[in-house]
Amino acid sequence: MAKLKVIKKGYLRILGGIVAGASSTVSFIQNDKKIIVDTGVSKDRKEIITGLEKEGIGPEDIDLVINTHPHGDHMGNNNLFQNAVLFENRDSKKICDDVEMIHTPGHTSNCYSVLVKTDQGRVAIVGDLIALEDDLDSGRKPYSFDFELQKKNREKILEMSDYIVCGHGGMIEKK
Ligand SMILES: [Zn+2]
């Protein structure tokens, strides 16, 4: 089974309907590979390094960086991981044991989710498919390329997982 840790929780500040500040959640997966999913914005650098230190590793130990989608607030520290391969989001793929990636468009046409099998259950790191913990309840319409498609992919992901790591929030248990 893979281990998963939210290294840095993201945030999304909306003031008067306008995004006033945003940085993605940064997740760390450890199995036969060490993987970072999304890398926040550049000012998060120190917090990411500190978070990895707590896991007993440094940025140089990361093998693979995955961005759930190519937006700046999810990619700001890609260059911190000098020894890592940047995973190109092209097809749905098995990444390593217990970790796979699936195409979940809606927020953008190029959005992916990472599914991780852990001892606690199946966790889906979904990026901005579900940006905040209350996205599913609030009825808030996110900034999306295709919201109807996004809703379908949310349902699909919820069927496949026990826990969700939100793109700009923490981990939630599926109801
Ligand atoms: Zn985002």
CA of 137 to the centre of ligand 1 (A): 19
pLDDT digits (tens, 9 = 90+) for 123-170: 999 999 999 998 888 877 777 899 999 999 999 999 999 999 999 999
CA of 9 to the centre of ligand 1 (A): 12
Q: How much is the pLDDT for 40?
A: 98
Structural domain including 67 reads 3-173
Mean pLDDT of the 39-54 span: 97
CA of 43 to the centre of ligand 1 (A): 15
Which residue has better confidence, 136 or 61? 61
DSSP 8-class letter at 84: P
CA of 168 to the centre of ligand 1 (A): 6
Which residue has better confidence, 106 or 88? 106
CA of 129 to the centre of ligand 1 (A): 9
Contact 114, 29 (CB under 8 A): yes
Neighbouring-strand partners of residue 6 = 27
Alpha helices (runs of H) in the chain, residue ranges in sequence order: 45-54, 135-138, 147-160
Q: How much is the pLDDT for 114?
A: 97
CATH code for the domain in which residue 122 is found = 3.60.15.10
CA of 135 to the centre of ligand 1 (A): 13
Among the residue ranges 36-45, 89-98, 110-119, 156-165, the one predicted with the least confidence is 89-98
On the question of pLDDT at 92 being above 80, the answer is no
pTM score, whole prediction = 0.95
CA of 40 to the centre of ligand 1 (A): 9
Q: How much is the pLDDT for 89?
A: 63
- Number of domains making up the chain: 1
Alpha carbons 3 and 54: distance in angstroms, whole number: 14
Q: How much is the pLDDT for 47?
A: 97
Q: Single out the residue of 75, 111, 87 nearest to residue 33, CA to CA.
A: 87
On the question of pLDDT at 20 being above 90, the answer is no
On the question of pLDDT at 90 being above 80, the answer is no
Q: How much is the pLDDT for 139?
A: 72
Q: By percentage, how much of the chain surpasses pLDDT 90?
A: 82
On the question of pLDDT at 93 being above 90, the answer is no
Q: How much is the pLDDT for 136?
A: 87
